[in-house]
């Protein structure tokens, strides 16, 4: 076991997974505040098309994901400040991107058996077999995303919580919206690289949404979301390597713990909401009792 822990495979999985978990959680917090879950699903499908298209022409799949994702951002950015009411447009983009991805994957998979296996890797990720090059690229892009969010964090938070007042005070809603979507596209691309198309959304949404249900202060909530994301990835990787069921993929553990965490957060939120409702009612009864006395 000690040898496995010290192995390059385990170290790469932990480092790559941790980087993606932190970046996804920070971006996911603003994603939840801005109610753009559907847009994140569209961007994962766009990443799927970008990865398979790039592989088809012999280019690094991550480059294809980033380029096509940023191209989609230019289209989505035309109505970024009104994204919440654009489900139809986003759905059309999603379906078109998925169709392209299926076409590219089919062409790529039919060229050789090894390409078919690589295509499956795009869907389910390759956290257990990431290379040092993938780790370095993920670290660089992740640092870029976090640095940009640090710079625009406060106005982006203001625009996400109260866009009407933010616009009145001169906050550039459209510009911030486009920048955030670009950062989301990059975060989605590195998430897909590590954990695949099918799991990227769960890591983008579940830790952040759970933290929002538990927390109130923005920066503490972001830190809690990152902690949740890292814990989920660490649990998944550890169980993949040392768990009793070695045939169970790490993706299952990530999706299971993400879903379970969000369920716990919903229960917590309802309990707290119920307690806050009961306390004022109890206080009103006490005031009424004393006034009659």
Band (41; pLDDT cuts 50, 70, 90): confident
- Residue-range definition of the domain harbouring residue 10: 2-292
Candidate from 25-29, 79-83, 106-110, 229-233 with smallest mean pLDDT = 79-83
Question: How many helices (DSSP H) and strands (DSSP E) are in the chain?
Answer: 12, 0
Q: CATH code at 206?
A: 1.10.3470.10
Burial class of residue 219 (count of CB atoms within 10 Å of its CB; 0-12, 13-18, 19+): exposed
Q: What is the pLDDT of residues 100-120, one digit of tens each?
A: 877 887 777 666 555 555 555
Count up the domains in the chain and report the number: 1
- Whole-prediction pTM: 0.81
Span 191-202, average pLDDT: 81
Between CA 27 and CA 8 the distance in angstroms is 28
């Amino acid at each position: 076991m000690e040898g496995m822990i010290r192995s390059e495979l385990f170290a790469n999985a932990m480092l790559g997974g941790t980087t993606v978990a932190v970046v996804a959680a920070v971006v996911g917090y603003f994603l939840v505040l801005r109610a753009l879950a559907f847009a994140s699903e569209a961007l994962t499908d766009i990443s799927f098309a970008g990865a398979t298209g790039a592989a088809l022409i012999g280019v690094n799949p991550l480059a294809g994901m980033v380029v096509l994702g940023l191209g989609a951002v230019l289209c989505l950015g035309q109505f970024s400040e009104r994204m919440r009411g654009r489900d139809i447009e986003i759905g059309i983009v999603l379906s078109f991107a998925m169709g392209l991805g299926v076409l590219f994957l089919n062409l790529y998979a039919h060229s050789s058996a090894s390409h078919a296996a690589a295509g499956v890797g795009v869907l389910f990720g390759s956290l257990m077999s990431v290379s040092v090059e993938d780790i370095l690229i993920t670290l660089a892009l992740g640092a870029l995303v976090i640095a940009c969010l640090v710079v625009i964090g406060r106005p982006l938070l203001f625009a996400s919580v109260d866009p009407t007042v933010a616009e009145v005070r001169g906050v550039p809603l459209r510009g911030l919206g486009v920048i955030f979507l670009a950062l989301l596209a990059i975060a989605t691309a590195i998430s897909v690289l590590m954990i695949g198309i099918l799991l990227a959304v769960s890591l983008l949404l579940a830790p952040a949404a759970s933290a929002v249900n538990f927390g109130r202060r923005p920066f503490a909530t972001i830190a809690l979301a990152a902690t949740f994301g890292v814990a989920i990835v660490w649990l998944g990787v550890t169980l993949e390597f040392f768990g009793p069921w070695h045939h169970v993929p790490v993706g299952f553990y990530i999706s299971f713990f993400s879903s379970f965490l969000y369920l716990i957060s919903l229960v917590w939120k309802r309990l707290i909401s119920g307690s806050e409702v009961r306390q004022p009612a109890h206080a009103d009864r006490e005031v009424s009792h004393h006034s009659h006395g």
